[in-house]
């Protein structure tokens, strides 16, 4: 039997959402995303939120619910990869007594729990094809069937889906239904990666600094200009989650050195990419990043060989002096040898060679 407390434990609490100014920042992309989100929140249409891990898909889903006419109703989040495939159907759609061995009572699924509220399906690409067709039916006529039930049930529910995969590619490989994609993709919100909204890094960092100072009762000082410029240059594969964790660590340790050497280390790892064959790979992007890193290493090596004499280094590299100055800045290298970060960068580079 399902008790009230086990039902409510399945319904996620909304948790704390950072202020809107922090969430959306100033970039044009985020401003138009905010407009789209505001428009779609009040309409009962499915929304698909796409974006890399850590870009804020969860936050946006919660904001959509909080701005919708169903905000006083339940917000039910289903983290699809966290529930084993065999259990997912009963978790989502529930079951009747005797539907299978061990089904001693009836159990409503999360779809039912979300009645007159929002059902947030996180990492939707994890649903297998049979669950995809049950979800399609739900989206088409609001009906679904508990496992072992004779009749369909009807619910009113706003469905929000999220994924960090390219569903278009999953359709091509036959693992995601095209008709379901059209159904869930009525409105698409694409979360930009943090490296495409670098203008917001400073404000986000300041927000997390204040937040964690308060939370842990610490007094970590504002970040130095050096560290801030390293944050601006970094590629942020883990996006805002990575930035948040970095600032959290800084607040707890109160030491910038640890953070900056950590960043250099992560950069080195990044350019020896451990390519994940299960996820999407952008050859173009990888090649561009590898070229930039190679350029950075060559410039650094030549600068060292010429005792940081930039005129000589430019000649050796067969580029103009101005072009070299630009490239030094662009690669995040220190402008001259006396800068503090030189040793760290050179040390890391030597270790990697
Ligand atoms: N725009 C933002 N403003 C403030 N904090 C953010 C923002 N986006 C993400 N965060 C923070 O970063 C962390 C990750 O965000 P979230 O869980 O929403 O990402 P996600 O896109 O759902 O990631 P995943 O694909 O891994 O589930 C959270 O702790 C959240 O508070
Ligand atoms: Mg998420």
Residue whose CA is at the smallest distance from ligand 1 atom 9: 56
Measured from the alpha carbon of residue 164, the closest ligand is: 1
pLDDT at 10 over 60: no
Instruction: Kindly report the average pLDDT of the chain as a whole number.
Output: 86
Q: Confidence class of residue 340 from pLDDT cuts 50, 70 and 90?
A: very low
Select from 249, 246, 255 the least CA-distant residue to 221.
Answer: 255
Q: Which DSSP helix (H) or strand (E) runs through 206?
A: helix 201-215
SS (H, E, C) 142-193: CEECCECCCCCEECCEEEEEEECCCHHHHHHCCCCCHHHHHHHCCEEEEECC
What distances in angstroms separate CA 12 from CA 68, 77, 120, 271, 295, one per listed residue? 17, 6, 10, 38, 48
More confident residue, 326 or 201: 201
Percent of the chain with pLDDT over 70: 88
pLDDT at 159 over 70: yes
Mutate to test the pocket of ligand 1, among 54, 63, 207, 243 (most ligand atoms within 8 A of CB): 54
The residues facing 157 across adjacent strands are 117
CA distance linking residue 194 with residue 54, whole number of Å: 9
Residue whose CA is at the smallest distance from ligand 1 atom 16: 56
Select from 349, 313, 309, 353 the least CA-distant residue to 332.
Answer: 349
pLDDT at 245 over 90: yes
More confident residue, 180 or 168: 180
Select from 69, 61, 80 the least CA-distant residue to 15.
Answer: 61
Distance of CA 40 to the CA centre of its chain: 21
Specify the pLDDT at position 79.
93
Measured from the alpha carbon of residue 237, the closest ligand is: 1
Task: Provide the CATH number for the domain formed by 195-270 in this structure.
Answer: 1.10.8.60
Q: Is the dihedral of CA 144, 149, 152, 157 positive or negative?
A: negative
Q: Which DSSP helix (H) or strand (E) runs through 122?
A: strand 117-122
pLDDT at 114 over 90: yes
Specify the pLDDT at position 15.
65
Specify the pLDDT at position 346.
42
The residues facing 320 across adjacent strands are none
What distances in angstroms separate CA 101 from CA 95, 149, 150, 151, one per listed residue? 11, 15, 18, 20
Mutate to test the pocket of ligand 1, among 27, 50, 53, 58 (most ligand atoms within 8 A of CB): 58
Neighbours of 349 (CB within 10 A): 17
How much is the average pLDDT of 18-26? 92
Select from 190, 193, 180 the least CA-distant residue to 137.
Answer: 180
Contacts of 228 (CB under 8 A, 6+ apart): 201, 202, 205
Q: Where are the domains of the chain?
A: 4-192, 195-270, 283-352
pLDDT at 13 over 70: no
Percent of the chain with pLDDT over 90: 58
CA distance linking residue 339 with residue 154, whole number of Å: 67
Distance of CA 233 to the CA centre of its chain: 19
Q: Confidence class of residue 272 from pLDDT cuts 50, 70 and 90?
A: low
How much is the average pLDDT of 245-272? 81
Task: Give me the architecture of the 4-192 domain, per CATH.
Answer: 3-Layer(aba) Sandwich (3.40)
Domain 195-270 and domain 283-352, same fold? Reply is: no
Q: Confidence class of residue 209 from pLDDT cuts 50, 70 and 90?
A: very high
Mutate to test the pocket of ligand 1, among 241, 242, 247 (most ligand atoms within 8 A of CB): 241
Measured from the alpha carbon of residue 191, the closest ligand is: 1
Task: Give me the architecture of the 283-352 domain, per CATH.
Answer: Orthogonal Bundle (1.10)
How much is the average pLDDT of 19-45? 93
The answer to which of 79-88, 149-158, 329-338 has the lowest mean pLDDT is 329-338
Tell me the whole-structure pTM to 2 decimals.
0.75
How much is the average pLDDT of 186-214? 95
Q: What is the pLDDT of residues 48-92, one digit of tens each?
A: 999 999 999 999 999 999 999 999 999 999 999 888 878 899 999
């Amino acid at each position: 039997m399902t008790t009230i407390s086990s039902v409510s434990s399945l319904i996620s609490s909304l948790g704390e959402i950072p202020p809107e100014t922090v969430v959306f920042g100033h970039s044009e992309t985020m401003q138009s995303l905010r407009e789209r989100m505001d428009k779609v929140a009040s309409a009962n249409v499915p929304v698909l939120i796409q974006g890399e891990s850590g870009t804020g898909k969860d936050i946006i889903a919660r904001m959509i619910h909080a701005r919708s006419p169903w905000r006083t109703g339940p917000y039910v989040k289903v983290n699809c990869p966290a529930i084993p495939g065999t259990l997912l159907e009963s978790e989502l759609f529930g079951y009747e007594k005797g539907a299978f061995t061990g089904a001693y009572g009836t159990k409503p699924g999360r779809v039912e729990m979300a009645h007159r509220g929002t059902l947030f399906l996180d990492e939707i690409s994890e649903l297998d094809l049979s669950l995809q067709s049950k979800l399609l039916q739900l989206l088409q006529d609001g009906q679904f069937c508990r496992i072992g039930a004779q009749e369909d049930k009807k619910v009113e529910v706003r469905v929000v889906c999220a994924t960090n995969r390219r569903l278009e590619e999953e359709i091509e490989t036959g693992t995601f239904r095209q008709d379901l994609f059209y159904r869930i993709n009525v409105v698409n919100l694409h979360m930009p990666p943090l490296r495409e909204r670098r203008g917001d890094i400073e404000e986000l960092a300041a927000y997390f600094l204040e937040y964690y100072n308060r939370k842990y009762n610490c007094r970590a000082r504002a970040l130095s200009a050096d560290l801030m410029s390293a944050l601006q240059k970094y590629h942020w594969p883990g996006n805002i989650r990575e930035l948040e964790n970095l600032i959290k660590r800084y607040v707890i340790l109160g030491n910038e050195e640890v953070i900056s050497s950590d960043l250099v280390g992560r950069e080195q790892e990044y350019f020896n990419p451990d390519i994940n064959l299960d996820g999407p790979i952008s050859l173009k992007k990888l090649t561009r990043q590898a070229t930039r890193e190679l350029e950075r290493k060559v410039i650094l090596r030549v600068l060292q060989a010429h005792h940081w004499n930039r005129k000589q280094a430019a000649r050796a590299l067969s580029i103009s002096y101005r072009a070299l100055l630009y490239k030094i800045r662009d690669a995040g290298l220190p402008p001259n040898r006396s800068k503090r970060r030189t040793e760290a960068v050179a040390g890391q580079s030597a270790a990697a060679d």
